[in-house]
Structure 1
Amino acid sequence: MSKLRPLMVIGVAAALALTGCASTATSSSSTKQQVGDASGDKVSIMVGGLSKQIYLPFALADRLGYYKEQGLNVALSDEPAGIDATTNMLAGKVDGVGGFYDHTIALQGLGQSAESVVSMLVTPGEVELCRNDLKGKVKSPADWKGLNLGITDKGSSTDFLTQALAQRNGVDPTTTHRIGVQSGPTLIGAMTHKNVDCAMTTEPTVSQLLATGDAYIMLDMRTAASTKKYLGGEYPASSLYMMTDYVNKNPKTVQKLVNAYVKTLAFIHTHSAAEITAKLPADYYAGVGKAAYIKALDSEKGIYNPTGIMPPNGPPTNLKVLGDFNSAVKGKTIDVSKTYTDRFVKAAQ
């Protein structure tokens, strides 16, 4: 059996890459930080960009002392180069992933059981930026045919969303060129050097490109109304998801994590953007500046889930969006009730 497990993981990882649920990046630039109580329950979480505002709860929980309060010894891995967190989880290298909920749906389509244990974002929080010299020419995804489109990486949720938006606007995703440019400096460089025409990203990268005048917003999915307009309904995004087997074997550790994140989400909704930013290390807003970071956070605080409960109308939207183009999901019978659980959040409340 020990020989079969590595082969199974390799096979699923290959399938993920082919179906759009795994990164093609092979960079080793990931960083790890140990936080919380050194003598507490050990748990490792890989996050798709700790400094991104869409993943704010993971870092903020540490800065507020909530991991330590729960008796957790947490290893947070930051993957700015897009090394695939889902594949690392499948391989047993990390216990959980700070990523978009939609990956649990794609995994079920590939015969794997993973579940979100706390929902952190009720909208994607993503913005599609285009180069300023294309203003007036590229007005919507209907204009994307033949364009170079920046995504975090192949198989990322930005890849999912880019393909979905293209298809929903009458453009075959295969007629676009989706290029992994990560976020922050690498995405900014790709856009300023005209390696990409448009790119999907989040704050604080959005504010940096708008401030320099290098880009304009083509579409914005930071509100419930705009998300419904572009994706057809609620689209819960950032979450902590783990393999179901791990959750079943470690319910006490999972409960402690969820307790910390539920408290963090409550803190976000009961404190100003300035108060929240004051808790973060300076390198989180170094590129855009503290004032711009606060302004961006203040304008998009509505993206955060106030309770951690999965929005009931969200999973069906995620399933429909993925089912339109993702071969891991299309034509498959998916039970979304098994892709998330609210039991830990309800216990935390």
Structure 2
Amino acid sequence: MGLKALIAAAAVALTLGAGATANAQALEKKELKIAVGGKPLLYYLPLTLAERLGYFKEAGLNVEISDFGGGAKSLQALVGGSADVVTGAYDHTIQMQAKGQSIVGVTQLGRFPGIVLASVKKAGTIASIKDLKGKKIGVTAPGSSTNFMVNYLLAKEGMKPEDVSIIGVGGGPSAVAAIKRGDIDAISNLDPVISQAEADGDIAVIADTRTEKGTLDVYGGPYPAAVLYTTAAFIQANPKTTQALSDIFVKTMLWLNKASTEDVLKVLPEEYFLGNKTLYAQAFEHSKPTYSPDGRFTKEGAEAALKVLKAFDPAVAAAAIDLSKTYTNQYVEDSLKRLAK
């Protein structure tokens, strides 16, 4: 490289560095509270990666992450004002619009739900959805995406949510313990809980949305899973901070899609492995196809989610939902352009 080229490259680097500093200084809100419903679940892996790879600090953000028992509780934190943003199920943006509240997805983290419905072998033979009638089903938390999948599968069989008993069991060791104790007859949960229970021989899978085929079997099309969402009011008041968050999660998704299993495990805290790092690695490999390649939302995915919610949620079925107001690709597109430079 000649002297002129070296000088030009140095100038570009200085400009980019100055731009990053200026962006951090220009953020409307540098102290952020993020809510999540089961942080160690692979469903929310991008949040932990963004945190531990240092991307929040790099962007000039100081984040406080509050972990709740399930997505419904993290949504409550946002609505109640104790959280600024949430990593949670896209479904909540539609449900809240039906209640007259504007919640917007900013970045898509999961393109397949990754949720598995399985029978607990201690409960005896449960071979089909119809066999669940009168049974106790463990979910991360009532009103969360794990609960929604159960509701939809029941609706497809002409059944109602009231035909089963829904019990919140969390998304970690508490869920595994509920299976072991026989407290529940079936479980709707995510990895690493499901892979742990499978390895122990405690469950039999009924429906599995960790793959594209499994997602199509359950939902009939693509289905958005975890997203970064916040209120329309937050976005309007904090556009630069919203852009910074999109940059962080898009950068994380691009890193994740290139990373090896070993790369991912090196970043994570030991407690995520539930005492079995090898099994966690297998669970991650099961779940890797569920992650979004670039953070973009699709119209088809949003339409699939609306169809599912209408099947069992009377409020959504009765509402005139404008899907274009439940997500935006504006920030993701800007992130992808910047990261491509």
Q: TM-score, normalised by structure 2?
A: 0.87
- Give the partner amino acid of 2:171: S
- Hey, what's the Cα distance between the residues in 2 that align with 1:48 and 1:270? 26
**Pick aligned residue for 1:336 from 314, 323, 333:** 323
**Pick aligned residue for 1:313 from 265, 277, 300:** 300
- Hey, what's the Cα distance between the residues in 2 that align with 1:76 and 1:172? 35
SS at match of 1:171: coil
Bigger Rg over Cα: 2
- Hey, what's the Cα distance between the residues in 2 that align with 1:82 and 1:121? 14
Matches within 5 A, 1:3-152: 41-80=30-69, 84-134=73-123, 137-152=125-140
Contact 2:116 2:194 in 1 (8 A): yes
Larger helix proportion of the pair: 2
- 1:279-311 Cα distance to aligned partner (Å, 9 max, x none): 1111111x1511111111122211000110002
Residues matched between the structures, number: 310
- Hey, what's the Cα distance between the residues in 2 that align with 1:319 and 1:332? 11
- Hey, what's the Cα distance between the residues in 2 that align with 1:157 and 1:299? 19
- Which residue in the other structure is 2:271 paired with? 283
Once the two structures are TM-superposed, the CA of residue 81 in structure 1 deviates from its matched residue by 6.6
C-alpha RMSD of the superposition: 1.7
- Which residue in the other structure is 1:262 paired with? 250
- Which residue in the other structure is 1:304 paired with? 291
- Hey, what's the Cα distance between the residues in 1 that align with 2:67 and 2:149? 22
**Pick aligned residue for 2:261 from 262, 273, 279:** 273
**Pick aligned residue for 1:292 from 237, 258, 279:** 279
Q: Does 1:242 align with 2:239?
A: no
Identity %: 36
Alignment gaps of 5+ in structure 2:
1-23, 337-341
- Give the partner amino acid of 1:342: N
SS at match of 1:89: helix
- 1:10-43 Cα distance to aligned partner (Å, 9 max, x none): xxxxxxxxxxxxxxxxxxxxxxxxxxx9x98111
- Give the partner amino acid of 1:120: L
- Give the partner amino acid of 2:214: S
Once the two structures are TM-superposed, the CA of residue 225 in structure 1 deviates from its matched residue by 1.6
With over 3 angstroms needed to count, the CA separation of the structure-2 counterparts of 1:175 and 1:241, relative to structure 1, is: same
Once the two structures are TM-superposed, the CA of residue 267 in structure 1 deviates from its matched residue by 0.8
SS at match of 2:31: strand
Contact 1:47 1:77 in 2 (8 A): yes
Once the two structures are TM-superposed, the CA of residue 189 in structure 1 deviates from its matched residue by 2.0
Contact 1:142 1:170 in 2 (8 A): no
- Give the partner amino acid of 1:64: L
- 1:155-212 Cα distance to aligned partner (Å, 9 max, x none): 1111111111111123222111111111222222222222211011111111211222
Contact 1:122 1:304 in 2 (8 A): yes
- Give the partner amino acid of 1:48: G
- Give the partner amino acid of 1:179: I
- Hey, what's the Cα distance between the residues in 1 that align with 2:122 and 2:64? 43
- Hey, what's the Cα distance between the residues in 2 that align with 1:84 and 1:155? 9
- 1:292-332 Cα distance to aligned partner (Å, 9 max, x none): 11111122211000110002310001001001111220121
- Which residue in the other structure is 1:213 paired with? 201
Contact 1:207 1:288 in 2 (8 A): no
SS at match of 1:84: helix
With over 3 angstroms needed to count, the CA separation of the structure-2 counterparts of 1:181 and 1:253, relative to structure 1, is: same
- Hey, what's the Cα distance between the residues in 1 that align with 2:243 and 2:309? 29
Alignment gaps of 5+ in structure 1:
1-36
Contact 2:296 2:332 in 1 (8 A): yes
Matches within 5 A, 1:156-195: 156-195=144-183
- Hey, what's the Cα distance between the residues in 2 that align with 1:348 and 1:215? 41
SS at match of 1:93: coil
Once the two structures are TM-superposed, the CA of residue 44 in structure 1 deviates from its matched residue by 1.0
Q: TM-score, normalised by structure 1?
A: 0.85
- Hey, what's the Cα distance between the residues in 2 that align with 1:345 and 1:303? 18
- Which residue in the other structure is 1:233 paired with? 221
- Hey, what's the Cα distance between the residues in 1 that align with 2:144 and 2:311? 16
- Hey, what's the Cα distance between the residues in 1 that align with 2:72 and 2:292? 26
With over 3 angstroms needed to count, the CA separation of the structure-2 counterparts of 1:282 and 1:154, relative to structure 1, is: same
SS at match of 2:138: strand
